[in-house]
């Protein structure tokens, strides 16, 4: 006999139904006790050190399920500095005149990031926004420019925000239904690279360097398939680090530098991706 044919069979209650039932119990010292709360609805329990493994799993699972339900198969990742201003805007992060001057000079990359995101999103439209979807860290600067470029052409884009000591609010151009928030850097970085068909990196600081070098390591060690890795601004990056020096010292293999391409404009970067994939 099938379950539905058994008159005594009833489906298991959904979690949200159980939560409503828990609210309707008598108000007694027992029902007010923290131990009486449903485990998954007990914030004190869920944030204990011992439940860290559960939280790690949930941070991976929630975006994974939502992106899969949306049908998003591949992304173009845009890394870059939160402090780069829009051209003509204030260099709000500058601590001195030198920083102010350099941030204003590098503000040209805001426009290039915005244009690059438009090019990606126009390609993405041909797949009903399942391929080449723009993803950023969700914050200001280059991240805002990336989400804004997608927004310019009516395309969805993803923002992977993270809780920081200084509050990082999502920029207003992230698609609200694709705006995520993370506690764990490691899980956030997994989501950046899991669907990546290209990684583009604009001038930035420690966070940008961390994301960039982790991507290089994954490709170098074969833990991630080879995809275009494009640095905007050769002059900036050749001052920031010297891969030729690392090769000369023997700490990387000759040819590891070839993982990277350089571009100065959005068109140059997009052409690298087009040639790589034959699109």
Residue 115 in any domain: the answer is yes
What is the tens place of the pLDDT at every residue in 211-260?
Answer: 999 999 999 999 999 999 999 999 999 999 999 999 999 999 998 999 99
Q: Alpha helix (H) ranges present in the chain? A: 15-23, 29-32, 43-46, 52-70, 97-106, 108-125, 142-152, 185-194, 206-220, 234-240, 243-249, 266-277
Q: How far apart are CA 128 and CA 114, in angstroms?
A: 20
What is the tens place of the pLDDT at every residue in 76-91?
Answer: 999 999 999 999 999 9
Give yes or no: residues 60 and 170 share one domain. Answer: no
Per-residue pLDDT, 8 = 54
Per-residue pLDDT, 1 = 41
State mean pLDDT over 159-186. Answer: 92
* Residue 15 CB partners (closer than 8 Å, separation 6+): 38, 40
End-to-end CA distance of the chain: 55
Beta bridge partners of 161: 181
Residue 20 in any domain: the answer is no
Give yes or no: residues 77 and 204 share one domain. Answer: yes
Beta bridge partners of 134: 76
Residue 108 in any domain: the answer is yes
158-162/196-201 β-pairing: unpaired
For residues 234 and 257, the answer to whether their CB atoms sit within 8 Å is no
Q: Does residue 168 carry a pLDDT above 80?
A: no
Give yes or no: residues 77 and 45 share one domain. Answer: no
Nearest alpha carbon to residue 266 among 116, 77, 166? 116
Nearest alpha carbon to residue 149 among 110, 109, 107, 117? 117
Q: How far apart are CA 68 and CA 74, in angstroms?
A: 10
Give yes or no: residues 222 and 136 share one domain. Answer: yes
Residue 90 in any domain: the answer is yes
For residues 216 and 229, the answer to whether their CB atoms sit within 8 Å is yes
- Helix-, strand-, coil-residue percentages of the chain, each rounded to 5: 50, 10, 35
Give yes or no: residues 52 and 173 share one domain. Answer: no
Cα distances from 56 to residues 43, 50, 70, 193, 194, in angstroms, run 15, 12, 22, 17, 16
CATH number of 87's domain: 3.40.50.450
Give yes or no: residues 53 and 141 share one domain. Answer: no
Label residue 11 by pLDDT band (50, 70, 90).
low
Per-residue pLDDT, 261 = 97
Give yes or no: residues 143 and 258 share one domain. Answer: yes
| Total-model pTM | 0.88
Q: Which residues constitute the domain of residue 162?
A: 72-277
Q: Does residue 167 carry a pLDDT above 60?
A: no
Residue 15 in any domain: the answer is no
Residue 7 in any domain: the answer is no
Give yes or no: residues 139 and 199 share one domain. Answer: yes
Candidate from 11-20, 71-80, 187-196 with smallest mean pLDDT: 11-20
Give yes or no: residues 76 and 173 share one domain. Answer: yes
Per-residue pLDDT, 10 = 57
Question: Mean pLDDT of all residues in the chain?
Answer: 92
How many domains is the chain partitioned into structurally? 2
State mean pLDDT over 70-77. Answer: 97
């Amino acid at each position: 006999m099938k379950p539905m044919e058994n008159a005594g069979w009833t489906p298991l209650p959904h979690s949200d139904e159980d939560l409503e039932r828990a609210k309707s119990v008598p108000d007694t010292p027992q029902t007010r006790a923290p131990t009486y709360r449903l485990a998954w609805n007990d914030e004190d329990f869920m944030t204990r050190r011992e439940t860290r493994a559960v939280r790690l799993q949930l941070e991976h699972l929630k975006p994974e399920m939502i992106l899969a339900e949306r049908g998003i198969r591949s992304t173009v990742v845009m890394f870059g500095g939160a402090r780069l201003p829009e051209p003509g805007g204030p260099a709000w992060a500058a601590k001195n005149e030198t920083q102010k001057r350099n941030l204003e000079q590098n503000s040209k990359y805001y426009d290039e990031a915005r244009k690059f995101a438009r090019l990606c999103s126009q390609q993405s439209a041909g797949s009903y926004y399942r391929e080449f979807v723009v993803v950023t860290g969700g914050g200001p600067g280059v991240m805002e420019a990336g989400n804004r470029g997608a927004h310019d052409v009516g395309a969805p884009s993803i923002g992977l925000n993270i809780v920081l000591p200084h509050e990082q609010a999502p920029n207003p151009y992230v698609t609200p239904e694709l705006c995520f928030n993370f506690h764990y850097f490691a899980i956030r970085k997994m989501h950046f690279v899991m669907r990546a068909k290209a990684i583009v990196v604009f001038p930035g600081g420690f966070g940008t360097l961390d994301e960039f070098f982790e991507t290089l390591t994954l490709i170098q060690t074969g833990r991630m398939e080879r995809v275009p890795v494009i640095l905007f601004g050769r002059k900036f990056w050749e001052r920031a680090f010297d891969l030729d020096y690392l090769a000369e010292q023997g700490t990387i293999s000759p040819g590891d530098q070839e993982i990277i391409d350089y571009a100065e404009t959005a068109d140059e970067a997009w052409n690298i991706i087009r040639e790589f994939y034959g699109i």
